[in-house]
A and B are shown apart, each in its own frame.
Chain A
Amino acid sequence: MSHQALQRTLVRLLHDPTLVERLRESGPTALDEPELTENERGWLAATDPRAFQTDPYRQGRILTSLVEELPTAAALAARRLEGGLTSFFSSEHFHQAVRQDRALRLAFAELLEQTGSDTRALVAIERGLMQARRAESPLEGEIYPAHGVLWISTPAGALELYEALWAGLSRTGMPVVESVLKVAQAPLPVTSLDNDDRRTLLIEPDETGGFRVGEIPSGLEAILRAARDHRSLRACEEAAVRSGADATEAQEIIADLTSEGLLVCKVG
């Protein structure tokens, strides 16, 4: 599988001009790729370094996709990252993701969340949205959360920050990436979030093919969790009762969640 390690190294070189420069200056040791054979290192060293940099739009194309996944976190983090958002391509996050065949959007999220507790909270929301968009085929059982329904835990204030940033991005009237770059031109305030005061946010499909995010009480989370983990109506009713409902109320709540499209119930 050495040729696959070499392909991954080529991907790193094509995206990171600083690595090309290090290869030019220090030779193949700069690549930190123990899997490569001597021949493979030689092939890389013999390549004209300019050949790695013929596509000036390569970083931009990828960054567009990544920023569309994490718009609010990217807007907030852009000025905090030395070198801005494109510094992702010279970061260890990028290089490790390529080496390990991981999703770049998750590596990008990890870079952004290092810039503050506020970006960490925004990344949590936008990571949840990524997960909802990629939800696997529907679950099975007598009751389960509907396709694309999930919930996350964030510090209090995270939803308000997320909504405020979204509103700012929307006000530009530009496509997502352009709006992020515009909003990020001005320094955005650092918001201190209390990590000990946690809230549960629900992500659910909306009517436009997208997703909405809103806060839900802990009792509702308990019912959704029971539906996801146990797929049984009885487990959901027990969760509702533990949260303070009586037996009749528990049935009504579950019926409401089903009619609202949050749960799929296959029994009577």
Chain B
Amino acid sequence: MSFLERAQALPSLGIGVSTEYGASSADGALDVMALRRAHPEYASFLEIGVEISKGLDADDRAWVAAGGSTTYHFLDVNLDDPSDMDEPWLEKVRHTVDAIRPAWMCGDAGMWHFGPRDRAQMTLLPPILSEDSARDLGDGVAKLREQVGLEVLPENPPGVVYLGDLHLLDFFARVLDRADTGMLLDCAHLAIYQRLMGHSPLTGLDAFPLERIIELHVAGGVERERDGFLWVEDDHTPEVLPETWEIYEYVVARARNLRAVVFECERNPMERCLDGFKRIHRGWAARDPA
């Protein structure tokens, strides 16, 4: 069965929020349970960022215990390296999947660690945007899907240095085709890439297989400068760049298999995030789903 056929069985999760170990315990962090009580339409599911060595935190467990829907966002696997999906890691992943019962797995398809999975060596770098890298990444996505029994949606990672001869969207189109899978398009990460490369926000989207986009991320970013070099830091504040909104509004209206949107604002108080949620909701509610 092709991915587009399999996608019909994926649940429509709506709008949700993301978290990772310990994020909710920081001062001023978003209280997802409070958001759910006050604005259930903005907290239909929780995307749980999982680094296997850290596990799940108490808030993750509380959400699951309350019957909340989840997705599993991995934070520790280099999908383009088959040896990284070793059996001890996979066993713990399956255990976590059993605990949180996610609708699917997703996560930045880049380098999460160099060398061994050691604390000093955890990082996040975008993939090399080349043909051979797309092939290996696609094979890794398919392998993880087979091993875990869930759809695996690669996400375009953020970055300041992108190497390779393919546009990021052309690269991911190849990955999706190779793995026959869907995608988590991070609108903020794409906006960062487009600005860094001197492209307009929507460059490449006209030729991208939007029907494979299952999930979108929206997040704030801040412009930085060092020695005259300008870039955007993906800082997950509620201040979303205009280009990110432009990408979101273009894609949400056209991605006919879209199932979920996450507003990544986990370290900010609810009141500061409501305008962003409202705008996301406007786009979500106006779409014409398949």
User: Which residues of A sit under 8 angstroms from B114, Cβ to Cβ?
Assistant: 7-8, 11, 98, 101
Contact A101 B164 (CB under 8 A): no
Contact B115 A98 (CB under 8 A): yes
Interface residues of chain B, those whose CB is within 8 Å of chain A, are 80-81, 111, 114-116, 118-121, 123, 125, 127-128, 130, 132-133, 136, 160-161, 163-165, 224, 226-229, 231
Interface centre among A6, A7, A100 (most CB of B within 10 A): A7
Is the C-beta of A48 less than 8 angstroms from some C-beta in chain B? yes
Knowing that A7-B125, A47-B161, A65-B118 are A-B contacts, what are 19 other residue pairs whose CB atoms are under 8 Å apart, sorted by A's residue number? A4-B80, A6-B128, A7-B111, A7-B128, A8-B114, A39-B165, A40-B128, A43-B163, A43-B164, A50-B229, A51-B160, A51-B161, A56-B226, A65-B120, A66-B120, A101-B115, A103-B116, A103-B118, A104-B120
Contacts A3-B133, A10-B161, A39-B165: A50 and B228 contacting too (C-beta < 8 A)? yes
Is the C-beta of A54 less than 8 angstroms from some C-beta in chain B? yes
User: Which residues of B sit under 8 angstroms from A62, Cβ to Cβ?
Assistant: 120-121
User: Which residues of B sit under 8 angstroms from A39, Cβ to Cβ?
Assistant: 165
* Contact among A2, A44, A50, A65 for B226, CB-based, below 8 A: A50
- How far is it, in angstroms, between the C-alpha of A6 and the C-alpha of B125 when the chains are bound? 12
User: Which residues of A sit under 8 angstroms from B118, Cβ to Cβ?
Assistant: 65, 103-105
Interface centre among B121, B165, B224, B226 (most CB of A within 10 A): B121
Chain A residue at smallest Cβ distance from B164: A43
- How far is it, in angstroms, between the C-alpha of A54 and the C-alpha of B232 when the chains are bound? 10
- How far is it, in angstroms, between the C-alpha of A82 and the C-alpha of B123 when the chains are bound? 27
User: Which residues of B sit under 8 angstroms from A14, Cβ to Cβ?
Assistant: 125, 161
Min Cβ gap A262→B in Å is 26
Interface residues of chain A, those whose CB is within 8 Å of chain B, are 1-4, 6-8, 10-11, 14, 39-40, 43-44, 47-48, 50-56, 62, 65-66, 97-98, 100-105
Min Cβ gap B33→A in Å is 30
- How far is it, in angstroms, between the C-alpha of A103 and the C-alpha of B80 when the chains are bound? 20
Contact A3 B229 (CB under 8 A): no
Closest 7 CB pairs of A and B: A50-B229, A65-B120, A3-B133, A3-B128, A101-B115, A43-B163, A11-B114
Interface centre among B114, B121, B127, B227 (most CB of A within 10 A): B114
User: Which residues of B sit under 8 angstroms from A11, Cβ to Cβ?
Assistant: 111, 114, 123, 125
Min Cβ gap B120→A in Å is 4
Min Cβ gap B117→A in Å is 10
User: Which residues of B sit under 8 angstroms from A3, Cβ to Cβ?
Assistant: 80, 127-128, 130, 132-133, 136, 164
Contact B161 A52 (CB under 8 A): yes
- How far is it, in angstroms, between the C-alpha of A101 and the C-alpha of B83 when the chains are bound? 12
- How far is it, in angstroms, between the C-alpha of A86 and the C-alpha of B132 when the chains are bound? 35
- How far is it, in angstroms, between the C-alpha of A7 and the C-alpha of B79 when the chains are bound? 13
Min Cβ gap B172→A in Å is 15
- How far is it, in angstroms, between the C-alpha of A48 and the C-alpha of B136 when the chains are bound? 27
- How far is it, in angstroms, between the C-alpha of A47 and the C-alpha of B119 when the chains are bound? 28
Min Cβ gap A101→B in Å is 4
Chain B residue at smallest Cβ distance from A40: B163
* Contact among A1, A10, A54, A65 for B119, CB-based, below 8 A: A65
